[in-house]
C-alpha cells in the first residue's frame, strides 16, 4: 500500500462520494473469520488472507465466491454493512452508492427482501454521522437474462427509494449484450438508472454495445476505451462517466490485458489519459478489502499518475456530479458536516 499521508491534506480532507463499491468486496479478513465461525468453521485469519491473494480476474472471482458463501443470513449482511460504514467514515466519504450482488443472493436461494431490510436498518444509523447510502441491485452476466430479470423483480419487491440503479457485473465475455435489453427496459420502468461493467477484461466493443444497445448511464471500469479513439470521443461527447478503480485493475490483471504488457505499474494506468480527453471519471475502490486499498489511497495513486491538486479536487467533485441524486442533494452533500479522518 502507498502512504496516504503523502496526499495533500486539502485533497484528503475533501468530502467524497464512492460510486463503484461492492458491499461483498468490502469484507475484511477479521470479519470473514466471524462469518466462518457463525457457519461452524474454524478458519484462521492467515488462511483468509491467502484467499485474498490472486493474480488474475478468474482467481479474484473464485475468492469472491468463497467469501460470499459465508453470507447466509440477514444479520451477516447487517454486520458487513456496519463495517463498511465505519470504513467509509475514515475515508471522508459522505455518500456511497453501494452495489449488492442480488444475483448471487438469489442463486443461493436467499430472500433479498429480508436481507435488504437488514442492510437498510443498519445503514440508516450512520445518517446522523454524515454518511448517506443508496443502493445498486446487481445481476451476474454469466447467469443470463432470466436470472437478471429476477434481480429487477427483487428491486420491485423491495420497493425502496434508496435503490437507485440496476447493474450487471461478472464475466462480460459470457452472454451477448443484446440479451439484456428487456431486462434494462424493465429496470428503467421502475425508475432505476442503468449501469454495466464493461471494458474491464473485455474489449472496447463491450463498452460501445453497453452504451448504444442498453443506454447505459455509467460504465464500470471501461479502461478498454483507450484502445478505441472514436469510442473515447463518444464517451466525452455524451458525458458518460467511467467508474475507474486503479488498484482493482492492477490486481485482477485487467490493466495488463488492456495495455498489452505484463505487470504494469499503477502509475501506468490510463486514468489521466481518459480524464484529460474529457471523459468524466469517478474514482472508486471496487472491492477495497479484497484489493487491500482505500479511497484515500486511490487518490494518492491518481496523484502519482501525475494529476495536479486542482485535477484531484475536480475528481472528487465529479463523483458527486455523476451520482444518482438531484442537483440540490449533490450540493448539500458536498457541504455536509462529517466525521474527519482519524
Please count the other Cβ atoms lying within 10 Å of the Cβ belonging to residue 303: 18
The per-residue b/e assignment along 254-266, b for 16 or more CB within 10 angstroms, e otherwise, is bbbbbbeeeebeb
Contact criterion met (CB below 8 Å) for 242 and 282:
yes
- φ/ψ of 88, rounded to 5, equals -65, -40
Residue from 97, 200, 243, 300 carrying the catalytic annotation: 200
Q: How far apart are CA 224 and CA 202, in angstroms?
A: 7
Q: Which of 226, 221, 265 is nearest to 244 (CA)?
A: 221
Which grid coordinates belong to 283?
A: 474514482
CB of 241 within 8 A of CB of 282?
yes
Whether residue 257 contacts residue 201, with contact meaning beta carbons closer than 8 Å, is answered with yes
For the question of residue 200 being annotated catalytic, the response is yes
Count other C-beta atoms under 10 Å from residue 4's C-beta: 16
- Other C-beta atoms closer than 10 Å to the C-beta of 212 total 11
The set of catalytic residues is 200
Amino acid at each position: 500500500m502507498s502512504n496516504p499521508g503523502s496526499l495533500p491534506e486539502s485533497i484528503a480532507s475533501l468530502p467524497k462520494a464512492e460510486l463503484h463499491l461492492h458491499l461483498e468486496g468490502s469484507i475484511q479478513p477479521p470479519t470473514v473469520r466471524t462469518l466462518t465461525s457463525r457457519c461452524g468453521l474454524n478458519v484462521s485469519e492467515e488462511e483468509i488472507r491467502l484467499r485474498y491473494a490472486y493474480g488474475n480476474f478468474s482467481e479474484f472471482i473464485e475468492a469472491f465466491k468463497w467469501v460470499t458463501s459465508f453470507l447466509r443470513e440477514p444479520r451477516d449482511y447487517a454486520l458487513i454493512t456496519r463495517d463498511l460504514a465505519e470504513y467509509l467514515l475514515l475515508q471522508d466519504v459522505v455518500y456511497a452508492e453501494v452495489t449488492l450482488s442480488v444475483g448471487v443472493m438469489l442463486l443461493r436461494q436467499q430472500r433479498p427482501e429480508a436481507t435488504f431490510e437488514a442492510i437498510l436498518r443498519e445503514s440508516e444509523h450512520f445518517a446522523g454521522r454524515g454518511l448517506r447510502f443508496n443502493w445498486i441491485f446487481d445481476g451476474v452476466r454469466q447467469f443470463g437474462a432470466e436470472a437478471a430479470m429476477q434481480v429487477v423483480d427483487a428491486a420491485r419487491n423491495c420497493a425502496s427509494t434508496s435503490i437507485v440503479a440496476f447493474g450487471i457485473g461478472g464475466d462480460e465475455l459470457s452472454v451477448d449484450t443484446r440479451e439484456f435489453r428487456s431486462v434494462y427496459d424493465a429496470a428503467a420502468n421502475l425508475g432505476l438508472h442503468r449501469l454495466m461493467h464493461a471494458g474491464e477484461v473485455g474489449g472496447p466493443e463491450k463498452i460501445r454495445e453497453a452504451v448504444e444497445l442498453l443506454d447505459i448511464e455509467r460504465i464500470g471500469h471501461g479502461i478498454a476505451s483507450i484502445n478505441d479513439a472514436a469510442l473515447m470521443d463518444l464517451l466525452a461527447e455524451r458525458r458518460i462517466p467511467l467508474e475507474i478503480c486503479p488498484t482493482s485493475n492492477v490486481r485482477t490483471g485487467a490493466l495488463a490485458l488492456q495495455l498489452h504488457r505484463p505487470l504494469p505499474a499503477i502509475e501506468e494506468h490510463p486514468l489521466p489519459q481518459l480524464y484529460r480527453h474529457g471523459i468524466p471519471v469517478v474514482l472508486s475502490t471496487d472491492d477495497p478489502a479484497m484489493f487491500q486499498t482505500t479511497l484515500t489511497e486511490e487518490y494518492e495513486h491518481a496523484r502519482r499518475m501525475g494529476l495536479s491538486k486542482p485535477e484531484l479536487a475536480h475528481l472528487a467533485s465529479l463523483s458527486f456530479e455523476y451520482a444518482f441524486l438531484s442537483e440540490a442533494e449533490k450540493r448539500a452533500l458536498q457541504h455536509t458536516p462529517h466525521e474527519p479522518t482519524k
